[in-house]
């Protein structure tokens, strides 16, 4: 920031670990609001309710087996709605909110390295997003079919999706001011519609890789989700790492005034 004079005693950068701890605490305290927790907690509760309803309904013509019903619900509700929407709200808001209320300006006045700051933003969002998404998705799957295959698959797939979406949406929050609107458009148009229409689009979506983990683990064949479990795990991890790195670069250049 131009015109800001840092006192001499503050010119030495804060250590990496200290920067991470400071920013993690600040961002975590900022994004955890009662309204967000209640609204998205209700969404998770609805997923569990749907899982219970599907579980007690019995077989259908399209899905005669509990396993196939569980896979279908996990993909179309858990990985398509719950995980990306919750991740968008918290991850896009972690730096977006800090910029709006001046917290980012406060952090800029301290000699903090940018890459641990980006890590602090990522992991603060991840801390909130993971339990709000993984728990209801896994419980919902278990209520339909409590076999270890489906439960483990739902756990792995939702965890992979959380890691990838969190990194992607933290970056989005640094790039765009109306990140929630743009993020919802991306989720609906690309992650939901486009990724379900063909293999190429699925390979360019987080949902496609998370869905592949689910189908590979359970052995249930679903069109477009035909990658190996290894690729399904590796690619979202790479997306998260690249997104955090780009967030760090963006923070070096962003005007927080």
Number of C-beta neighbours around residue 109 at 10 A: 13
Q: Is residue 229 part of a domain?
A: yes
Mean pLDDT by 10 residues, the chain (257 residues): 41 73 88 87 92 82 79 92 94 81 69 82 95 96 88 95 96 88 92 80 88 90 83 95 93 65
Model pLDDT for residues 180-223, shown as the tens digit of each residue: 999 999 999 998 888 777 778 788 899 999 999 999 999 888 87
In 3D space, the residue among 186, 181, 159, 149 whose CA is nearest the CA of residue 78 turns out to be 159
> Does some domain include residue 3?
no
Query: In total, how many domains does the chain have?
Result: 1
The predicted pLDDT at position 37 comes to: 87
What token pair was written down for 236? 């979202």
Q: How many CB atoms lie within 10 A of CB 81?
A: 17
Give residue 240's domain range. Answer: 12-253
Decide if 203 is inside a domain.
yes
The pLDDT of residue 7 is: 42
pLDDT of residue 240: 96
Q: What is the pLDDT of residue 253?
A: 72
Q: Is residue 1 part of a domain?
A: no
Note whether residue 18 is domain-resident. yes
Q: How far, in Å, CA of 148 to CA of 155, rounded?
A: 10
Which of these, 249, 82, 71, lies nearest to 161 by C-alpha position? 82
79 lies in a domain? yes
| pLDDT of amino acid 171 | 94
What are the helix and strand counts (H, E) for the chain?
A: 11, 0
Distance CA 172, CA 169 (A): 5
Does the residue 6 lie in any domain?
A: no
Give the side-chain half-sphere CA count within 13 A for 147.
14
**Is residue 7 domain-resident?**
no
**What pLDDT score does 8 carry?**
39
Query: Would you state the pLDDT for residue 254?
Result: 62
pTM of the full structure: 0.88
Torsion on CA atoms 160, 225, 172, 22, rounded to nearest 10: 0
């Amino acid at each position: 920031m131009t015109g800001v004079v840092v006192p001499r005693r503050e010119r030495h950068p804060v250590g990496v670990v200290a920067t991470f701890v400071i920013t993690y605490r600040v961002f975590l305290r900022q994004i955890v609001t009662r309204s967000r927790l209640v609204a998205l907690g209700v969404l998770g509760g609805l997923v569990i309710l749907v899982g219970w309803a599907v579980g007690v309904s019995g077989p259908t013509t399209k899905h005669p087996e509990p396993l196939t019903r569980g896979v279908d619900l996990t993909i179309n509700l858990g990985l398509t709605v719950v995980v990306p929407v919750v991740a968008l709200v918290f991850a896009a808001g972690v730096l977006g909110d800090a910029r709006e209320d001046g917290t980012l300006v406060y952090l800029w006045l301290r000699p903090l390295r940018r890459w641990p700051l980006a890590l602090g933003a990522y992991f603060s969002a991840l801390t909130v997003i993971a339990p709000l998404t993984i728990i209801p998705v896994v419980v919902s799957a278990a209520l339909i079919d409590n076999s270890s295959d489906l439960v483990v698959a739902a756990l792995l797939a939702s965890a992979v999706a959380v890691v990838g979406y969190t990194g992607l949406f933290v970056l989005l929050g640094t790039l765009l001011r109306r990140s929630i609107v743009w993020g919802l458009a991306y989720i609906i148009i690309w992650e939901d519609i486009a990724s379900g229409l063909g293999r190429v689009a699925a390979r360019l979506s987080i949902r496609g890789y998370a869905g592949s983990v689910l189908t590979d683990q359970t052995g249930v064949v679903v069109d477009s989700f035909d990658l190996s479990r290894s690729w399904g795990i590796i690619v979202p991890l790479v997306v998260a790492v690249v997104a955090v790195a780009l967030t760090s670069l963006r923070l070096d250049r962003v005007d927080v005034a």
